[in-house]
């Protein structure tokens, strides 16, 4: 079952996601900062399931990456609550490498 936050909870969601990004060093990571060159490289990425289970947290990916950079495009492939198998693609992303790398650790911490 997919849960959608009521509008009144959006500020709290943004605040918690921002705190998680800061805790994971998303804005201070040296590798990410090195990728912020003027000729920013655009990449495609995907989140892949490592073990079979039930997917959860997909609804957090778009708001998380929008806090880093609004131009990151996120497409959820798996639905929240769906059974997933090892090797299955959960989400597709495209955007600047630095932005995707900045949010990767936090996104993976939120997904299960």
> pLDDT tens digits for 98-108?
899 999 999 99
More confident of the two residues 6 and 45: 45
CATH 3.90.1170.20, applies to 7-110: yes
Specify the pLDDT at position 1. 42
> pLDDT tens digits for 25-41?
888 877 777 666 655 78
> pLDDT tens digits for 61-110?
999 999 999 999 999 999 999 999 999 999 999 999 889 999 999 999 99
More confident of the two residues 44 and 31: 44
The partner residues of 44 in beta bridges, in order of sequence, read 94
Can you give the residue ranges of every domain in the chain?
7-110
Specify the pLDDT at position 8. 61
| Token representation of residue 30 | 């040296």
């Amino acid at each position: 079952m997919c849960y959608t936050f009521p509008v009144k909870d959006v500020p709290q969601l943004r605040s918690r996601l921002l705190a998680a990004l800061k805790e994971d060093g998303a804005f201070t990571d040296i590798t990410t900062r090195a990728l912020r060159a003027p000729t920013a490289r655009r990449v495609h990425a995907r989140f892949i399931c490592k073990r079979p289970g039930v997917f959860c947290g997909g609804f957090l990916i778009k708001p998380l990456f929008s806090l880093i950079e609004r131009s990151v495009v996120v497409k959820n492939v798996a639905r929240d609550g769906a059974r997933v198998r090892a090797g299955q693609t959960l989400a597709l992303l495209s955007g600047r490498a630095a932005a995707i790398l900045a949010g990767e650790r936090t996104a993976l911490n939120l997904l299960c």
